[in-house]
Amino acid sequence: MAWTKKALIRYRTIDRCLQNHHRRWTLEDLREACSKALYELEGRRVEISRRTTQLDLQMMRSEKLGYEAPIEVYERKYYRYADPDYKISDIPLNENDLGVINESVEILRQFKDFSLFRDLNGVIQKLEDQIHQNSNSRAIIHFDKNEQLKGLSYLDEIYQAIQKGIVLEISYQSFHRKEALTFKFHPFFLKEFNNRWFVIGRKEKEQKVYNFALDRITKLDFDLRSKYQSSDIDPDEYYRHTFGVTVLDRRSLIDIEIWVNPSNAPYVITKPIHASQQLLEEFSDGSAIISLKVHHNFEIERHLFGYADNIRVLKPQRLVKRMQYKLEMAAKQYDKDFHLARREETL
């Protein structure tokens, strides 16, 4: 690993430490964190000297890298950012950086027509748009994002664990539990759905495949002592018949038929709900009947319910009844004054 790459890893590690305001960081703590980060990437123990860590802090404070990090010492032994919102990833790109990225984008563009790189088109457009924004130009493309979503800081760590075959120790608090549970987890791949990220894998000594939302993870550590159990699960095949992230057994696989009204039929036809969608019939008034073959999970119910009065589920009967029940429950929310109803419930 090149020396410059090692230095960047150390800077990034120190930055991540100092962003954690719930812990007091000594020079020794920062040195040990950098040693651990390099070990996880190289697979061998790399001893970082105190002098190296001191020089790293000095370099981050300086103008040489453009960081000018507001690192301060308090109580003569602890380090922190004077600005609690500071992080090195927020540093704007300089002209030289933009030039290098522009050259890189041009190189990527040459490969965009090859089948192996057919997914590069979206990546190139995102890079170009980010360059425009960093050069103080108005953004041309607006991407849907939720910067308030918790757990995104774990994305890179989980990605590295999957790539390096490292077991995770996760503390996870579901919406239904008052306290977090801690367990060993073997991650297989990451999945994004509805602007929310999930890690898919197995718990230690279990065969069941779980999906855990990153925004419900309260703590994440690497378990370097446990042996990683790999998997040959193909994400595309695994999610072939699933809308969302909840994969159920084959008994839950259902054939759905839906009538869509004239105003929404063009939208549903041109933007399929799922890859299995088929157009069964189009009517003269513009309405249509489509079919889906998916697992009957919570996510497909919620999505179909989002169309409300614009569709009618024709089959299977159990899904028809679920939709009827949901619509009836929704209508009851408007049967009487909402504030009065809430007051009565609490009495």
Q: Using one digit for the tens of pLDDT, what is the confidence trace for 12-50? A: 899 999 999 889 999 999 999 998 888 877 666 778 889
Q: Among residues 51, 54, 47, which one has the least CA distance to residue 32?
A: 47
* DSSP H helices in the chain: 3-19, 27-42, 50-61, 95-109, 120-134, 155-164, 235-238, 265-270, 298-305, 317-332, 338-346
**Residue located via tokens 């579901």:** 174
Per-residue tokens: 204? 């230690």
Q: Among residues 233, 317, 323, 313, which one has the least CA distance to residue 273?
A: 313
Q: Are 186 and 204 in contact (CB under 8 A)?
A: yes
At 157 the pLDDT is 86
In this predicted structure, which of 105-109, 175-179, 253-257 has the lowest mean pLDDT?
105-109
Question: pLDDT-derived band of residue 1, with 50, 70 and 90 as boundaries?
Answer: very low
Q: How far apart are CA 146 and CA 212, in angstroms?
A: 18
Other C-beta atoms closer than 10 Å to the C-beta of 149 total: 13
Give the number of residues written for the chain. Answer: 347
Average pLDDT of the chain, as a whole number:
84
**Residue located via tokens 């446990």:** 226
At 110 the pLDDT is 58
Give tens-digit pLDDT for 298-324. 999 999 999 989 999 999 999 999 999
Q: How far apart are CA 20 and CA 71, in angstroms?
A: 13
Q: Are 291 and 256 in contact (CB under 8 A)?
A: yes
> Strand, coil or helix: what is 195?
coil
Q: Among residues 214, 210, 219, which one has the least CA distance to residue 197?
A: 214
Domains of the chain (ranges; CATH) run 3-89 (1.10.10), 95-134 (no CATH), 152-238 (2.30.30), 250-332 (3.30.70)
Q: How far apart are CA 84 and CA 21, in angstroms?
A: 8
User: At residue 286, what are phi and psi to the nearest 5 degrees?
Assistant: 100, -10
Whether residue 99 is predicted with pLDDT greater than 70 in this model: the reply is no
Q: How far apart are CA 313 and CA 330, in angstroms?
A: 17
In this predicted structure, which of 2-11, 32-41, 130-139, 284-293 has the lowest mean pLDDT?
130-139
What residues contact 165, with CB distance under 8 A and at least 6 apart?
Answer: 228, 230
Give tens-digit pLDDT for 226-243. 999 989 899 999 999 999
Question: pLDDT-derived band of residue 2, with 50, 70 and 90 as boundaries?
Answer: very low
DSSP structural state of residue 264: T
Q: How far apart are CA 95 and CA 167, in angstroms?
A: 41
Q: Please tell me whether the peptide bond between 316 and the residue prior to it is cis, using omega within 30 degrees of 0.
A: yes
In this predicted structure, which of 12-16, 60-64, 199-203 has the lowest mean pLDDT?
60-64
Q: At 169, which amino acid appears?
A: E
Q: How far apart are CA 303 and CA 300, in angstroms?
A: 5
